[in-house]
């Protein structure tokens, strides 16, 4: 278990309600002081392995720590260096987003409208590309288009 100078260690915790998180944990009496707690979401990666997403446990505050009762924790254990690095990177990214106002907050309706606009633009772009490709395909399919037999003859001339 990695211990920092303040007697805080990197830990994995599973709470009574099933939530899983990483945090730097300091035990104080019958309570745990959690610094930068991050939710854990794991799912199989399409290319093999596991995709792990870490997000702030309480994203609605600028507080960097919280205190919970030890009795709220079902499982508590150390984490390996691989996960410590991932956790540290996630914290750094989150703090940059939070402290520099890079978080876009949207209602469900706003998000749906933005998705519809993006989807409509993707369709317009795709149709435009298809039209351009078809134009050139029609042009290029006529290999003999520029041969002499396609030039106007005396019968084609009206005047």
Task: Tell me the C-alpha distance between 18 and 44, whole Å.
Answer: 19
Same domain as 134, residue 89: no
Same domain as 41, residue 117: no
Does the structure show a pLDDT above 90 at 130?
A: no
Q: Model pTM?
A: 0.64
User: pLDDT at position 45, please?
Assistant: 92
Same domain as 114, residue 59: no
User: pLDDT at position 1, please?
Assistant: 43
User: pLDDT at position 136, please?
Assistant: 64
- Chain Cα centroid distance, residue 38: 15
User: pLDDT at position 3, please?
Assistant: 46
Is pLDDT larger for residue 154 or for residue 89?
89
Same domain as 112, residue 93: no
* Domain boundaries, position 117: 108-142
Instruction: Report the percent of the chain where pLDDT is more than 90.
Output: 61
Same domain as 117, residue 51: no
Provide the token pair at 156. 């084609």
**Is residue 157 one of the residues assigned to a domain?**
no
Same domain as 90, residue 23: yes
| Residue 34 CB partners (closer than 8 Å, separation 6+) | 13, 21, 23, 24, 25, 57, 65, 66, 67, 68
Number of domains, the chain: 2
**Is residue 155 one of the residues assigned to a domain?**
no
Q: How confident is the model at residue 149 (pLDDT cuts 50, 70, 90)?
A: low
Q: How much is the mean pLDDT over the chain?
A: 86
Q: Which of the residue ranges 21-25, 121-125, 128-132 would you say has the lowest mean pLDDT?
A: 128-132
Same domain as 73, residue 23: yes
Q: Average pLDDT for residues 118-137, to the nearest whole number? A: 83
Task: Tell me the C-alpha distance between 72 and 16, whole Å.
Answer: 5
Q: Average pLDDT for residues 88-104, to the nearest whole number? A: 90
Is pLDDT larger for residue 2 or for residue 68?
68
User: pLDDT at position 66, please?
Assistant: 95
């Amino acid at each position: 278990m990695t211990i920092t100078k303040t007697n805080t260690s990197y830990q994995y915790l599973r709470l009574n309600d099933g939530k899983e998180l990483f945090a730097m944990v300091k035990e104080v009496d019958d309570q745990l002081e959690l610094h930068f707690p991050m939710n854990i979401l794991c799912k199989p990666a399409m290319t093999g392995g596991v995709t792990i997403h870490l997000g702030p446990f309480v994203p609605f505050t600028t507080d960097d720590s919280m205190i919970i009762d030890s009795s709220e924790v079902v499982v508590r254990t150390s984490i390996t260096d691989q996960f410590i690095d991932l956790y540290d990177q996630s914290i750094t990214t989150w703090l940059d987003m939070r402290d520099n106002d890079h978080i876009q907050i949207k209602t469900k309706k706003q998000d749906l409208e933005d998705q519809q606009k993006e989807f409509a633009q993707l369709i317009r772009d795709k149709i435009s590309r298809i039209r351009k490709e078809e134009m050139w395909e029609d042009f290029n399919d006529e290999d003999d288009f520029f041969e002499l037999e396609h030039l106007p003859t005396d019968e084609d001339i009206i005047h």
